[in-house]
Amino acid sequence: MRDYMATKQATKKAPAKKTTSKSVATKKSAATRKVATAKKPEGMKSFRVYKSDVPFTSLKPTRQTFYWIIIIGLITVAQLLILKIQLDIMELTQPIYM
| Maximum separation of any 2 CA atoms in the chain, in Å | 126
pTM, full prediction: 0.44
Domains in the chain: how many in total? 1
Looking at every residue in the chain, the average pLDDT score rounds to 76
Q: What DSSP string describes 29-98?
A: PPP------PPPPPPP-TTS----SS-TT-----HHHHHHHHHHHHHHHHHHHHHHHHHHHHHHHHHHH-
Instruction: Examine residue 82 and state whether it is found in any structural domain, yes or no.
Output: yes
Task: Check residue 8 and give its pLDDT.
Answer: 55
28-29-33 Cα angle (round to 5): 130
Give residue 70's pLDDT band: very low, low, confident or very high (50, 70, 90): very high
Q: What is the pLDDT of residues 9-40, one digit of tens each?
A: 556 666 666 666 665 556 666 666 666 666 66
Boundaries of domain holding 75: 61-98
Residue 97 lies in a domain: yes
Distance CA 41, CA 65 (A): 20
Q: For residue 48, is it within any domain?
A: no
For the cut 80, the answer to whether the pLDDT of residue 42 exceeds it is no
